[in-house]
Structure 1
Amino acid sequence: MRSGSGPRIVALRKTLEPGVGWAMAGHGADEHPHGADRLCEAGDRVYSRAVRRGRVPREDAEPVPCLLDLALLHPDPDDMTWLVPTAPQEVMTRLLRGLYDEVSTSQRRVGSAVAAFEWYAGLGPQRQAATAEGGAIRVLDGLSRIQAAMDEATEACTTEVLTVQPGGIRPEHELTEGLHRALALRGRGVRMRDLYTHVARHGQGLLNYLELMGGTVQARTLDEVIDRLILFDRTVAFIPANPDRTLALELRHPALVQYLVTVFERLWRLAIPLTAPLPDTGIKGISHREQSIAALLAEGHQDAVIAERLGISVRTCRAHIARLSETLGAASRTQLGVRIAQVGLDGTSRPADVAAAAAGSGPPTASLTLPDQGSRTVR
């Protein structure tokens, strides 16, 4: 350990009682059984280097997972192979949060904690100023870190929550886990608006949840929505940062948040209230979902992509495609593409063709070239 750091660490250890710091979580707890108030020597070296230099390579922190577990280091939004330090002032504030409840009897311990992290703060004053400005975008690494940030934003929320929930039917356990937070928001008079895919209409759990929440929550649906988005009071937003959603971005930059609010509001205007029926396609035998699948097929998307965008399984998607083929009299994917265009399911409908299909006269006659069959007329 460098000269100068030892006395501060020792003093901090003597004055902060066990349990005051953040609890250790995840891997590395056995090798580094301590909180942020009592850094190990290896953690002290790496964190000090990160504060002094502004960032450290991710591999430097592998021997000290405690720094990531305690959120003293987090991924650099500009380059995930590097880790940047949490500003010592922020660490100090979090450490002292538990102490403030006992401030009348703990002044000496509070002062020692401040003194200890003021030393770290002096290592890189210029970098810390930049870090404070960069707080508009924060990378949250791990589900526990994401949930903690979401809980903090929920507690601070006072007026409105906007969410976009992609995928299909919401699992009951997800709705149950979030119910206590939703009830707490309702108790404070917070209004909520949720956007789902049309498939979510078939989940009884969602219907039960909305009935329980009453008029506090409004829900609408679309054929497809953007990836997950949660907005609190139009001041902070959370979006996923990787496909499996183990990384997230917490956004507080006013321009970014306002942009996402605008996206949400435009989708909301296009969406259909959950209590309203989906519009009829106007074509006999073709459901609204099959119409959506047809439009995506016409754009050239594969089955797996279509299923993901509409929030259904690939198996269900293929079952709908089979019914589409049967309804439109198509014997192959090539024919199906032509039939989709003929009846206007590709978004370029011709009123006469759609009217004919709706009247049951069948698709218009077309000259098609089928694989290995030559040219023939199909009715």
Structure 2
Amino acid sequence: MDRPLTAAAPDGGPTADHPLRCLGVSETAERAYFALVRDGAVDVDDLAARLGTRGEHASLAVEELAGLGLVELDGATARAVPPRGPLDLLAHRYALSSELARESASVLSAVWAQHTHAPSYLELVHTTSGALQVQRQLHESAQGWVVALSIGGVGPQAPKPEVAPGTLAALARGVEYRVVYGSQVLHRPEALAAVRMSIEAGERARVFPDVPFNLQISERVAVLAIAGRGSERLNAVVVHHSSLYDGLIGVFETFWRVAVPVPVAAEEPVGSMTPVEHRELLTLLSAGLTDESIARELGVSQRTVARRIAQYQQALGAKSRFQLGVQAARQGWL
């Protein structure tokens, strides 16, 4: 039986199983290269039989590999070439293409600004698929940090609450996340579960009652996601480095300072409330959750929550729940 020639990538990345396919090489060509490395030089027809494919497919695979410099042809005989040199050259080409793409983006942005009278640091995205794509790209390209304000899904057809695509992968590679959630997000159990999944992966999360919109910022770009009134479409504003970009960071930091930490779920069923659970109750209350939502999170009755809140108000002389949150924070109870 043939042994697979793949090996774990040095960083455990996606190249482990398909080191050529992740570069855009076809599956047949990748299998052909492995077969040639394993078996040595063979006739193309013989290679087709070993791959269990038609002759013309094997020929196309060999031509594809030859174009990358991974195979040499001697008549109808194909021979594998050591991969380091050809793939280093390919990496250089990709790096050059990336640099040219950045230069082209600058040139085209200038042209866009001249003809649309819009600042070059702003991009408007008018489709839902485009808005979702730029948000995902923000997470996938982040290297150092991401900060965000979140009110959850918006629009008439808001998607089911879930961790934003690309977030967990970014956290896994060491990107620092700080997120302030609107309290309405925590009213939905599935949304709260997604938040806690992110927290377990390393996200630092806080909550505040009046978060106004969905905003995501990385060290490279900011994305503001908006649903038009009466529209099923999701729009986005992409903001590159500028005074506006800096201002949006300032907006986030303001919310971060006044928000309170998202409480961690209790690990065991709650009977009579412990001091830790009292702190959780006050935190959830400050976040704007209803008595019903707080009771569900703590595993106690709604009557118990109402009674405890009344006791806190009496103890701190607070006439309203808002005043209670302020006084509790001053006393260090949060």
Superposition TM-score, scaled by structure 2 size: 0.42
